Amino acid sequence: MNLKSASIKALGLLACLGLSSMSYAENRALLVGLAEYKDPKANLRGPETDVKLIQEVIGQIGFTPDQVHVLLDRQATRANILSQMRTWLTEGVGPNDRVIFYYSGHGAQVNDRSGDESDGCDESIVPYDLNVILDDEIQTILQQVKAREILVMFDSCFSGTVTKSLFDIDDGVDADTKFWDKASTGCGIASNKEFSLDDGALDASKAVNTQNYIEFSAAAENQVALGALRKGEGSAFTQAVYNGLSTLPKPISFEALRNYAVDWIKQRARSRAHTPQLSGPEKWLNSDFYAFGDADPAPAVTPPATVQNASSPSELFQQLVNKTQFKVEAQASQPSYKLGERISFKVRSSKAGYLNIIELDPNGNLVVVFPNTYNDKNQIRANEVITLPGLRYGNFDFTAIEPVGKSRVLALVTSQPLNLLTENVGNLTGLFKVMTEQDTPALSTAVARAIGVSAPVVSPSTSNTTTTTTNPPTTNTSTIPANQGPSHYYGAAELELITTR
């Protein structure tokens, strides 16, 4: 959900953090869970457990049962939710107090009614009676809350633009999608949603020191959030947050909690995984989650590694995939190849940008599969299905060669121009740019420039890796104008390839 306020914005988990040194005097929490709807087709698995999990979590930061109001299923009508927000969360709340609002259920998009949405769509939550509550309405109420600190958690899908896997993979994941298309009015239908290079995206992990809140959302833009992945569990995002708070060593930074949630969801949801997002003041991103509501500053937690200090290609791949900001899908034509067999990929990105495909082979060498000297132009359109090799992007020869074993392949899409073929890193060998592990610092620097993360300038080392292939005519590199919207964002996906004799 996108609440358009300089001071209050809720999509996922928000902590509006006051700067005063006064201690809090009152706690108010409203928890809403919708497992059952007026239309049984909208029923979900997970929200009933979500509310119990959140009750336990906020109890650990000092909220007592009498300070918590709960609306479940039939109780959670549009009228009741708005009434409780306007009274329980607002009346009698002062500048020393803490307020929490939690919602787990369906989300939807409707056509923008106020003209304040750049994409023409208002996000909303879907109450029991299916009469949506717009983000504008929630924003108006939250602006009236006088609490020193506000925490808002939405475990629902608000954009809903990628409701189906590109490749229709049946991966055995049985979970409800928390997007209710019947409440949407065109905006939430994937086939009607287009993006261009100047579209924005939430930052997966970004310090925004002008914000007075922490934003921790269930999914990246254009991803749906999932309900319970297993019987008896909460919805994927809430369960991941709860498990992280229960198992990680304290203090637990927001950044560490987000990374845990990313990995937890990825391991269990596989191809349907969604990526939790995080942004806010840097001093809070790396401070203790349990410091919410503390009058004194939270104890410092060591910031996590970013791409500028990745020690190996494997670590760089992992960091990029863990912090993806929108959905990218990638799949090989088959899971394994014998030496000499032709390899092909399909890739789709929910946002337009610049595509680089990099293979990390079993020996630790990197091969830039795309772009290459057959086609050095790598700008792609949103939601375009890209086949490589293929007619549109080059019918080049890409076959399985030594060494045999397991390779990792990264598909990286950036809003800013990034062309690893022309970057001053590695060596050009036939069709492809080839790098070694010693090139990791230079590669990290190149990637960091495109995704908006600062990195030290290093001199690329020389790679001695060689390969054999046929080199078709080379095309000239074209200059593509820089993105005019939010300066940096990216999406990434990874797959495995196995080469056998």
Which residues make beta-bridge pairs with 101? Answer: 30, 152
- DSSP 3-state assignment of 492? strand
Sorted by where each starts, the structural domains of the chain and their CATH numbers stand as 13-291 (3.40.50.1460), 307-500 (2.60.40.2550)
The pair of three-digit structure tokens given for residue 76, joined into one six-digit string: 């959670």
- Say which residues have a Cβ less than 8 Å from residue 251's Cβ, sequence separation at least 6: 287, 288, 289, 290, 291, 298, 299, 301
Do the Cβ atoms of 48 and 33 come closer than 8 Å? yes
C-alpha span between 51 and 46 (Å, rounded):
9
Give the H or E element holding residue 59: helix 47-59
C-alpha span between 120 and 431 (Å, rounded):
43
The pair of three-digit structure tokens given for residue 230, joined into one six-digit string: 């297993």
- DSSP 3-state assignment of 155? strand
Q: Is the peptide bond before 371 cis (omega within 30 degrees of 0)?
A: yes
328 class by beta-carbon count within 10 Å (0-12 exposed, 13-18 middle, 19+ buried):
buried
Where are any strands of DSSP class E within 73-220? 98-104, 107-111, 121-125, 133-134, 149-155, 205-207, 213-217
Residues 305-341 pLDDT 10s? 456 567 888 888 988 888 888 888 888 889 899 999 9
Which residues make beta-bridge pairs with 125? Answer: 107, 133
222 class by beta-carbon count within 10 Å (0-12 exposed, 13-18 middle, 19+ buried):
buried
Residues 252-291 pLDDT 10s? 988 898 889 989 998 888 878 888 877 766 766 777 878 7
> Which H, E and C letters describe 69-97, residue by residue?
EEEEHHHCCHHHHHHHHHHCCCCCCCCCC
- Say which residues have a Cβ less than 8 Å from residue 79's Cβ, sequence separation at least 6: none
Angle subtended at Cα 72 by Cα 31 and Cα 215, rounded to the nearest 5 degrees? 30
| Residue 59, CA distances (Å) to 68, 105, 291, 364 in order | 10, 22, 13, 48
C-alpha span between 36 and 46 (Å, rounded):
10
Do the Cβ atoms of 392 and 374 come closer than 8 Å? no
The pTM of this model reads: 0.59
**pLDDT tens per residue, the chain (501 residues)?**
545 433 333 334 433 333 333 344 589 999 999 999 999 999 999 999 999 999 999 998 889 999 999 999 999 999 999 999 999 999 999 888 888 999 999 888 776 655 544 445 677 889 999 999 998 898 889 888 888 777 888 888 753 322 223 333 334 555 555 555 554 444 543 222 222 222 333 344 555 554 446 677 787 656 778 888 988 899 999 999 999 999 998 889 888 988 899 899 988 888 788 888 777 667 667 778 787 766 344 444 444 445 656 788 888 898 888 888 888 888 888 989 999 999 998 998 878 899 999 999 999 999 999 999 999 999 998 878 888 888 778 888 788 999 999 999 999 999 889 999 999 999 999 889 999 989 988 898 888 888 864 333 333 333 333 333 333 333 322 222 333 333 467 889 999 899 999
